[in-house]
């Protein structure tokens, strides 16, 4: 009764305040500030006292009931308020201490979970959400775990070098920000060039590390950074879009290239991008490759027969959709965070005669099959490009084929084969622009 009365009084003072549920699980409401004030009136529960942010005092709570997840209105005010709470918890090392040995724990993002182990001597992170990098340590029989990324984490404990058991830690948000609504807020703020978009993007990445709208959010953040000409933000945003570069539209690719040029940054450009028919993307490629900071793999200019280029582009027109499919698997496991960062142009020129002979042949060559599957199916691409090397004897395409085989193996995470084909490329064609481009792949597999 007292709890309801306290919440009712808060509702009178703050117009629009919601009714906080008395049981664990999701509640609904509007303003985080009102929720925090209402929460401070409660007895019991897991609400921590207001942290002393000036003294750096450590705040500890012990679990007494299931964590409450409160639905809130998705707006800039609530986004900023929640980030402030998380930053405060990080600054004060807010802890949730559980003295029980269990296989499952829950902790709010930004707080440090502390729990005991059963005479286990080592612990290791086994699985985590994409791009998440939690802090995990085991000292004096106590595990400390902290992350700002929502999701499931699996920890493995060890005894005498062998896995003893698996522990699941659920890192949750105290407030339920609907993913679609949060994406809409980012879209709205970015269109207005509102600075609040920076916090909205930050929270989206924390709550949805591998979210449904991640690709779109990454691009909107980059476009915002480019629109306001903020090189620091562009550098941050480029890290988010580079792994999905091929999956963006031609218009979006052009914006990414112009942003990279403005920030004086090199990015990895898949070779098939140069086959575009889009005039805006062509211009962006030219601007990028002619920028004052010439990427280290940029090829010297070479005369190109326009008739050849036109014929080649017409030949690949039907391949556009497949070539623009996502290359997100290129960023898997250990290679996912260092995709390259070096661009290039093609200097290989096909003669008019060779183009004529190809266009009169209705059978698709191994080379063409390989190029068509570069992004959608790297295994098929490798198989066909190898057949092209052994049977088609396209000498002028050989450096490019070596490069694309190495690139496809990189997408599959096969370091040995990547190294092998880069070595062949550099040995046989040391002065080729493709040999220079291969430096990006070399960096990728380190």
The Cα 151–Cα 166 span in angstroms is 16
Integer-rounded Cα Rg, in Å, for the chain is 27
Residue 212, helix vs strand vs coil: coil
Task: Please enumerate in sequence order all residues whose Cβ is within 8 A of that of 60, keeping only pairs 6 or more positions apart, or say none.
Answer: 48, 94, 95, 96, 97
User: Which tokens go with 282?
Assistant: 């062509």
What pLDDT shows up at residue 56?
A: 47
Query: CB–CB of 226/303 below 8 Å?
Result: no
Tokens of residue 289, six digits? 């490759």
> What is the per-residue pLDDT across 398-442, written as a single tens digit (0 to 9) for each?
888 989 998 888 888 788 888 888 888 888 888 888 888 888 777
Q: ∠319-271-384 over CA atoms, to 5°? A: 60
pTM: 0.57
DSSP one-letter code for 104 = E
CA-closest candidate to residue 4, choices 41, 32, 29: 41
How does residue 166 score in pLDDT terms, banded at 50, 70 and 90?
very high
Instruction: Round to whole Å and give the CA distance between 86 and 80.
Output: 10
The predicted pLDDT at position 126 comes to 92
Strands (E) in 110-236, as ranges, are 112-116, 122-127, 135-139, 142-146, 151-159, 162-172, 175-176
Residue 307: which pLDDT band, with cuts at 50, 70 and 90? very low
What sign for the dihedral angle of Cα 182, 186, 189, 194? positive
> 66 pLDDT band (50/70/90 cuts)?
low
pLDDT score, position 85:
93
Residue 125 has pLDDT above 60, yes or no: yes
Chain centroid to CA 134: 16
Q: Assign residue 299 a region (left: φ > 0; alpha: ψ between -120 and 50; beta: otherwise).
A: beta
pLDDT at 122 over 70: yes
Characterize the bridge pairing of strands 25-28 and 104-108.
unpaired
The dihedral through the CA atoms of 319, 322, 328, 334 has a sign that is negative
């Amino acid at each position: 009764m007292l709890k309801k009365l306290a919440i009712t009084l808060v509702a009178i003072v703050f117009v629009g305040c919601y009714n906080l549920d008395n049981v664990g699980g999701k509640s609904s409401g509007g303003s985080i500030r009102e929720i925090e004030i209402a929460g401070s009136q409660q007895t019991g529960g897991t609400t921590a006292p207001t942290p002393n942010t000036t003294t750096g005092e450590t705040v500890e709570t012990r679990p007494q009931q299931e964590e409450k997840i409160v639905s809130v209105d998705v707006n800039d005010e609530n986004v900023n308020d929640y980030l402030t709470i998380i930053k405060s918890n990080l600054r004060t090392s807010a802890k949730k201490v559980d003295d029980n040995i269990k296989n499952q724990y829950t902790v709010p993002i930004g707080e440090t979970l502390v729990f005991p182990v059963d005479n286990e001597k080592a612990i290791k992170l086994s699985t985590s959400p994409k791009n998440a990098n939690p802090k995990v340590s085991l000292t004096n029989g106590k595990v400390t775990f902290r992350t700002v990324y929502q999701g499931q984490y699996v920890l493995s404990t060890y005894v005498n070098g062998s896995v003893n058991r698996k522990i699941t830690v659920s890192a949750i948000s105290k407030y339920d920000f609907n993913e679609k609504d949060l994406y809409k807020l980012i879209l709205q703020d970015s269109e207005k060039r509102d600075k609040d978009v920076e916090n909205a993007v930050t929270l989206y990445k924390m709550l949805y590390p591998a979210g449904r709208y991640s690709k779109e959010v990454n691009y909107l953040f980059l476009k915002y950074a480019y629109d306001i000409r903020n090189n620091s933000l562009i550098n941050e945003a480029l890290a988010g879009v580079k792994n999905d570069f091929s999956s963006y539209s031609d218009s979006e690719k052009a914006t990414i290239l112009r942003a990279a040029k403005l920030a004086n940054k090199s990015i990895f450009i898949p070779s098939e991008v140069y086959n575009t028919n889009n005039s805006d993307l062509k211009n962006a490629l030219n601007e990028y490759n002619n920028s004052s900071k010439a990427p280290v793999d940029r090829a010297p200019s070479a005369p190109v027969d326009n008739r050849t280029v036109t014929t080649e582009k017409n030949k690949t027109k039907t391949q556009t959709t497949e070539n623009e499919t996502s290359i997100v698997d290129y960023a898997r496991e250990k290679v996912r965070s260092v995709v390259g960062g070096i661009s290039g142009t093609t200097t290989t020129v096909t003669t008019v005669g060779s183009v004529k002979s190809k266009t009169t042949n209705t059978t698709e060559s191994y080379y063409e099959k390989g190029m068509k599957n570069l992004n959608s199916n790297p295994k098929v691409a490798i198989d066909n490009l190898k057949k092209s090397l052994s049977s088609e004897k396209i000498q002028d395409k050989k450096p490019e084929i070596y490069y694309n085989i190495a690139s496809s193996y990189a997408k599959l995470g096969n370091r040995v084969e990547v190294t092998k084909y880069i070595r062949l490329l550099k040995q046989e064609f040391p002065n080729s622009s493709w040999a220079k481009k291969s430096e990006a792949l070399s960096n990728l597999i380190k």
